Amino acid sequence: MPDAQWHCYADRTHCSQQLAGVLTQQLQQALSSGMPARLLLPGGQTPGLLLAELACQPLDWAQVQLSPTDERWVTAEDPASNLHLLQHALPEAQLLDPRQGRTPEEAAQCWCVHLRAWLPLQGALLGMGEDGHIASLFPAMPALAEALDPQAMPGALPGVAPSEPRQRLSVNLSLLLNSQWLGLLVFGEAKRRLLEAVQRGEAASLPVAALMSAAAGRLQIYWAP
């Protein structure tokens, strides 16, 4: 498996600052070239510091289009919503809500149509759970093999989480690979050990292993303890 490119920092604040600068540069390059600036960002607790740093960047956020890499099947106003997190942190950005239908299946299909029109993305940033899941692609969930197929049509699908709220929406691996820059933000020693095990060829069944394999060495890992 080609090695991902590691960027390790002594603390989470410094890590988030450096990553915010990299993402801003990616978006600014697109805007300066007259291209759409489109980015997928993770939800959950990990990107909190990053989002605060992004909000301080000298970028015309009104020209940037954002969507989460995945979403919980809750209302957009629910504090558990990843879109809610992005709206609060980057209120001037153009946000694409994954909830594009009345059911998870309908929403995923319609969200997929919008996202395909965005390809290739300027960037896609992921988080990772301690179980090795990325976006809302969880180990052993239904249709996981298809969702992790790098040759599949770029798209989105309903996901199933092991904890509440269990119903999720997620992009697939193929869509993530259709980005000019691809990154993974992880904090903590346990997650670092898991990623190192994957690089040694262990834990090959985990979703993050599929990501690291398919990314062919261009995956940028940002880590802090």
pLDDT for position 216: 87
pLDDT of residue 118: 98
- pLDDT per residue as tens digits for the range 75-92: 999 999 999 999 999 999
One-letter amino acid of 3:
D
In this structure, the strands spanning 94-95 and 64-68 are parallel
- Catalogue the E-assigned strands of the chain: 5-8, 37-41, 64-68, 70-72, 94-95, 123-126, 156-160, 167-171, 182-187, 220-224
Q: What pLDDT digit, counting tens, does each position of 206-224 carry?
A: 999 999 999 989 999 999 9
**Distance between CA atoms of residues 175 and 172, nearest Å:** 6
Per domain, the residue ranges of the chain are 5-224
Q: What one-letter code names the amino acid at 196? A: E
As to burial, measured by CB atoms within 10 angstroms (0-12 exposed, 13-18 middle, 19+ buried), residue 10 is exposed
Mean pLDDT of 95-109: 97
Specify the CATH number for 5-224; select among 3.40.710.10, 3.90.45.10, 3.40.50.1360, 3.40.630.10. Answer: 3.40.50.1360
Q: Which of 43-47, 60-64, 153-157, 194-198 comes out lowest in average pLDDT?
A: 43-47
Confidence of residue 37 (pLDDT cuts 50, 70, 90): very high
